[in-house]
Structure formats: structure tokens, C-alpha cells
């Protein structure tokens, strides 16, 4: 006989019963379930992140294990603190259920034409999760976000009776309960836009570390593949020093012999840091990401005003990362992108090429616009520089190889390593591109077919910032001349991304205050920290 401890909610009891019955089927071991009330079950009048207890749904179960009142406890893994006590152990992580988030809403609140979160503007959306609330803020600032507490059936009932128009929930909980939603609608949220909590969809069966008999029994339920993925997700959470209330989404999934990590770390404004990469070195990627993101949690750029010239004035992921770090960012439309008429014979050649390489999200969008249905013809290998370019490809159903470094040289190194000599690489690109990729490929004896699809040009009258910035951040060599000609910004320090942009500034007679060696948003934010900390405390007029 094994005694399982469980919270008293419908979902907790269902999960515990399912695990116990699987154990009975696998080993013949009989079971009993003991219900234990937790702090999270008792305190319902405050949001979870305001309770102030780490492991609000797990502490009392751990105490019951230590006291010998129960032999094992079944947890939703996402509720377990990442710091494992030495006297307790996770003996089994069974096969993982659907890890994604879903929205449950009234039929009148649903708007299927809205990308990502299919809700009409202004509807009342309930969630107790800071991660979900901040993710909604990021994607939709036109929704009425409200806190909601109670177990899963209670939250669904609150929508049914009109207290809320919609609630955000874990798909796994709804599936395990097999709830009848009646007239309510359920829609899945894409994990690329709404990465789930680390470990979501997985169960953890905990027991005493020194109970060899129970550990051996529970090991019959362990799924090593699921465990590998969720352990990496929780390692990222631990590397960021966070608990269950840290607004981190992280999902690891196997992709052949590699792993894809989708992650987002949000702040209360809705700004976020993003990662979507496929790697064979999962542990290395997790460590790298934790090292990059952790310094930004303290908002080290708070108070720094950054002018960010960007094509068409769209700040993108870079502006968002700087905002997350506390900067006040103003994107400026100093340049614009214009389509270039495509050479039809070259388009046809690229559709037949063994591989395609992309250096920017704009190149991706122009390629699919020009090639149309032919863009997906035939099997080919696809490469990308940076998470933004990779995300643009994934939005078209293409899973690329993503270079670890930035710039064309890094992509060339990846292509040469992954692709056999003699195979032609198509290169949708800008007409006024930097030639680093092509030069590196030529030096390696590889053939590249460039296809110019757009160009970037300076606007006639570049707008000035609304307030004098502390720094102007330049992302491309073409912006150096515009900055040099700007009388309003003559005395403002500038920062450059990449040595090519820094060289263009020096050629224009301007010495950049700092230069970021990599083009990743987090690397740029870390570079600006140096300038921010050296800046005098007085602000410019």
C-alpha cells in the first residue's frame, strides 16, 4: 500500500488518481489518497504573486512527506520550487500532457481573426498568472485584464455566469478534467507568442529521498524524454533566480536529435526578452540565456533615454529588450524600406536551390511575398541570422538553422559546417547589403546566388527625438551619415552595433561612445549599461 498526498481541488485529485492508477497497473501496488490543504488553497482573496510564500501549493505536502503521513505527492511540476530539498526527491516525471495555454471564452468574446489571442477588443480577461497577464499586455493592450482565483472548474464557471468574458488556463488541466465547457469556446494559444510556464503540462511525483522502495515503484512511471525537457526549462528558471511568480515562459521540445527552446521573460509593462532557438547543446543554451537575461532583471537602464533610428520607425525586439531593461526608448524613422523588382529567373533559381540563407526578417517577408506558393517547393535547408529572422521563418512554417553569432560571417560559418560543398545557397537580401556573408562564402569556395528584394534609403527629413536623448543607438552603417548631419544631436553620445557600423561612424568623423560586438538585443542592453553607469547624473536639457 502506498499513500499519495494531494490537494483537495478537482484537478489535483484527478491527477493524483491518474498517477496512482497507472502505478497500480504497472506494479500491482495498491494505494490510498490523503487530502492535504495548502496555503494556496486557503488564501483566495489575494493574487498568487502577493501571497509571499514560495511553493504556495506544495509546502504542506512536503511537510506531510517528512512526517511520514504520506509516501508520495503528485504535483503540477510548474508549482514546485526549483530548489530541491535534500531529503525529498522527484522520483518520476510521467509522460507530459499538452504544455500550451488556452483561452476559454464566451462565443461573443471570440474573434478568430485576431492573431495570437483571438478575443474582441475590450473584453474582460481573467488570469492569476503574472506571466500570462504580462504576455497579454505585450500582444494586446486593448483588453481588460483582471485577477481571478479559484480552481479550474470555478474559473470556467465564472466565465459561464458572466463575471469574466474569458480566462486563460493550462490546456493540460482542462484535458485531465475533461470539463464540459457547454456553450463556451476554447482556443489554443501559440507557444511562440505565449510560451508556457516552465514544466507546464508535466506532473512530478515526489517522495522521501531515503525511501528506496517507493522510489523504485515510482520509477516505473518515469518518462526520460519529458524529464529532459522540463528539467532544462526549470534550469532556466533557476538560473534567473526565480520562483513560480517570475513571469517566465519556457518550453523545450525535441526536434530530431536536437531541442527547440522557446522562452520569454516579461515585465509588468508587457515588454519582454525573447528566445526561439534550436540547438544540440541544450544545457549550454540554457546557461547562455540565463547569463544574458539575469543582469537585466534589475532594470539597469532605468532612466536612460535612448533614441533608436530604425527602418520605418519600428523598434522591434531591440526596443523591447531595452525597455525591459528600464530604458525610455523612442524609435525614429530615419530610413525606410522599399521593395526592389525581383529578377524572375533568379527567383526561379532560388526556388530550386539546395539551401536558402536569410540575414533579416525583411528578407524573409519579401521572399515569401515574391516567391508565393513556390517558396515552399521541394526540400531544402534554411539558415537564419538571429532569433528575429528565425521567428519570421517559423511564421511561414519553416524551421531554420540559426547561427550562434551575429552577422553574415557567422551565418557563413554555420552554412559551411552544415552543407556539403558544391551545393548552391540562395540568398534573398537587400540591394544595399553588407557583403560579409558573400565574401566569407566565396573564401570558403561556396557558391551564393544573391537576390536583392528591397533597399533601405534615408528619409528626406529625419525626425528629431521628442526629448533630448542620453544616447543615440545606431544599428546600421547607413545611419552614420544621417546622424552626422543632425544638428540637434551633435552633442549626444552615440552607440554602435557591430564594428561595421562603428567604422562608418568613424569615417564620418564621429567616435562611438560604445560598440556592441553582437547584435542580439540583450548584448546591446548590456553594452549600454556601461555607458549608463558612466553617464553624469544630471540629464541634458
Residue 209's pLDDT is 96
Among residues 49, 79, 211, 276, the one annotated as catalytic is 79
Q: pLDDT by residue (tens digit) across 156-205?
A: 999 999 999 999 999 999 999 999 999 999 999 999 899 999 999 999 99
The span from the CA of 406 to the CA of 408, in Å, is: 7
Q: pLDDT by residue (tens digit) across 271-328?
A: 899 888 888 999 999 999 999 899 899 899 999 999 999 877 888 888 988 999 999 9
Residue 376's pLDDT is 67
Residue 229 CB partners (closer than 8 Å, separation 6+): 96, 251, 252, 253, 254, 259
**Does the annotation mark 131 as catalytic?**
yes
Does 335 have pLDDT greater than 60? yes
**Does the annotation mark 132 as catalytic?**
yes
% of the chain at pLDDT higher than 70? 94
Residue 377's pLDDT is 66
Residue 112 pLDDT grade (very low, low, confident, very high; cuts 50, 70, 90): confident
Among residues 7, 137, 176, 244, the one annotated as catalytic is 244
Mean pLDDT, range 408-418, rounded to an integer: 88
**Does the annotation mark 314 as catalytic?**
no
317 phi and psi, to 5 degrees? -65, -30
Mean pLDDT, range 376-398, rounded to an integer: 80
Among residues 7, 96, 124, 132, the one annotated as catalytic is 132
Residue 55's pLDDT is 53
- DSSP-based three-state secondary structure for 318: helix
Among residues 7, 96, 124, 131, the one annotated as catalytic is 131
Does 469 have pLDDT greater than 60? yes
The span from the CA of 55 to the CA of 431, in Å, is: 55
Residue 53's pLDDT is 45
Residue 399's pLDDT is 82
Give the best-scoring range by mean pLDDT among 100-109, 144-153, 358-367, 525-534: 100-109
The mean predicted confidence, pLDDT, of the chain is 89
**Does the annotation mark 351 as catalytic?**
no
Mean pLDDT, range 432-442, rounded to an integer: 89
Q: pLDDT by residue (tens digit) across 496-512?
A: 988 888 999 999 999 99
Does 103 have pLDDT greater than 90? yes
Q: pLDDT by residue (tens digit) across 225-263?
A: 999 999 999 999 999 987 767 999 999 999 989 999 999
Residue 379 pLDDT grade (very low, low, confident, very high; cuts 50, 70, 90): low
Among residues 7, 78, 124, 234, the one annotated as catalytic is 78
**Residue pair 497/306 in contact by the 8 Å Cβ criterion:** no
**Does the annotation mark 244 as catalytic?**
yes
Average the pLDDT over each of 130-134, 357-361, 537-541 and give the range with the smallest value: 537-541
Mean pLDDT, range 523-532, rounded to an integer: 83
Residue 301's pLDDT is 93
Among residues 96, 155, 260, 366, the one annotated as catalytic is 155
**Residue pair 265/272 in contact by the 8 Å Cβ criterion:** yes
CA nearest 98: which of 189, 22, 25? Answer: 189
Burial class (CB in 10 A: 0-12, 13-18, 19+), 338: exposed
The span from the CA of 541 to the CA of 526, in Å, is: 26
**Does the annotation mark 149 as catalytic?**
yes
Q: pLDDT by residue (tens digit) across 11-22?
A: 999 999 999 999
Residue 361's pLDDT is 87
**Residue pair 329/471 in contact by the 8 Å Cβ criterion:** no
Residue 51's pLDDT is 42
Residue 50's pLDDT is 47
Does 42 have pLDDT greater than 90? no
Q: pLDDT by residue (tens digit) across 281-290?
A: 999 999 999 9
Among residues 22, 120, 146, 149, the one annotated as catalytic is 149
Amino acid at each position: 500500500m502506498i499513500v499519495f498526498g494531494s490537494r483537495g481541488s478537482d484537478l489535483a485529485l484527478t491527477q493524483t488518481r491518474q498517477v496512482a492508477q497507472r502505478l497500480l497497473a504497472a506494479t500491482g501496488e495498491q494505494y490510498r489518497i490523503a487530502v492535504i490543504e495548502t496555503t494556496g488553497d486557503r488564501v483566495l482573496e489575494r493574487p498568487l504573486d502577493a501571497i509571499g510564500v514560495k511553493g504556495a501549493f506544495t509546502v504542506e505536502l512536503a511537510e506531510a512527506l517528512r512526517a511520514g503521513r504520506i509516501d508520495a505527492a503528485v504535483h503540477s511540476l510548474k508549482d514546485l520550487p526549483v530548489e530541491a530539498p535534500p531529503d525529498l526527491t522527484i522520483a518520476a516525471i510521467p509522460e507530459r500532457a499538452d504544455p500550451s495555454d488556452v483561452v476559454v471564452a464566451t462565443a461573443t468574446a471570440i474573434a478568430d481573426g485576431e492573431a495570437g489571442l483571438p478575443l474582441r477588443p475590450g473584453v474582460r480577461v481573467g488570469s492569476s498568472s503574472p506571466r500570462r497577464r504580462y504576455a497579454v499586455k505585450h500582444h494586446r493592450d486593448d483588453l481588460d485584464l483582471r485577477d481571478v482565483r479559484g480552481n479550474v472548474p470555478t474559473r470556467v464557471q465564472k466565465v459561464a455566469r458572466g463575471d469574466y468574458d474569458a480566462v486563460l488556463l493550462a490546456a493540460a488541466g482542462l484535458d485531465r478534467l475533461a470539463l464540459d465547457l457547454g456553450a463556451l469556446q476554447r482556443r489554443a494559444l501559440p507557444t511562440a507568442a505565449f510560451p508556457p510556464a516552465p514544466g507546464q503540462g508535466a506532473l512530478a511525483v515526489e517522495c522521501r529521498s531515503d525511501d528506496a522502495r517507493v522510489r523504485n515503484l515510482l520509477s516505473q512511471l518515469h518518462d526520460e524524454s519529458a524529464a529532459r525537457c522540463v528539467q532544462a526549462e526549470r534550469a532556466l528558471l533557476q538560473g534567473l533566480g526565480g520562483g513560480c511568480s517570475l513571469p517566465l515562459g519556457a518550453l523545450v521540445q525535441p526536434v530530431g536529435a536536437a531541442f527547440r527552446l522557446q522562452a520569454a521573460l516579461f515585465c509588468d509593462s508587457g515588454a519582454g526578452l525573447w528566445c526561439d532557438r534550436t540547438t544540440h547543446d541544450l544545457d549550454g543554451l540554457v546557461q547562455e540565456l540565463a547569463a544574458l537575461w539575469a543582469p537585466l532583471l534589475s532594470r539597469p537602464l532605468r532612466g536612460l533615454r535612448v533614441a533608436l533610428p530604425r527602418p520605418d520607425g519600428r523598434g522591434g525586439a531591440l526596443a523591447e529588450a531595452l525597455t525591459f531593461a528600464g530604458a525610455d526608448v523612442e524609435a525614429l524613422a530615419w530610413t525606410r524600406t522599399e521593395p526592389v523588382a525581383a529578377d524572375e529567373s533568379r527567383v526561379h533559381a532560388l526556388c530550386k536551390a539546395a539551401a536558402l540563407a536569410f540575414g533579416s526578417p525583411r528578407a524573409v517577408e519579401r521572399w515569401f511575398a515574391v516567391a508565393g506558393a513556390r517558396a515552399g517547393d521541394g526540400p531544402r535547408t534554411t539558415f537564419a541570422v538571429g532569433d528575429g529572422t528565425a521567428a519570421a521563418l517559423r511564421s511561414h512554417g519553416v524551421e531554420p538553422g540559426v547561427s550562434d553569432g551575429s552577422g553574415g560571417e557567422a551565418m557563413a560559418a554555420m552554412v559551411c559546417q552544415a552543407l556539403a560543398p558544391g551545393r548552391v545557397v540562395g540568398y534573398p537580401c537587400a540591394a544595399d547589403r553588407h557583403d560579409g556573408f558573400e565574401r566569407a562564402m566565396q573564401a570558403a569556395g561556396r557558391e551564393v546566388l544573391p537576390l536583392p528584394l528591397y533597399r533601405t534609403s534615408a528619409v528626406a527629413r529625419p525626425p528629431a527625438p521628442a526629448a533630448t536623448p542620453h544616447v543615440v543607438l545606431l544599428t546600421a552603417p547607413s545611419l552614420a551619415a544621417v546622424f552626422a548631419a543632425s544638428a540637434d544631436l551633435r552633442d549626444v553620445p552615440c552607440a554602435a552595433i557591430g564594428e561595421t557600423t562603428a567604422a562608418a561612424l568613424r569615417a564620418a568623423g564621429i567616435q562611438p561612445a560604445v560598440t556592441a560586438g553582437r547584435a542580439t538585443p540583450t548584448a546591446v542592453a548590456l553594452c549600454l549599461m556601461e555607458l549608463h553607469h558612466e553617464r553624469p547624473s544630471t540629464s541634458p536639457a
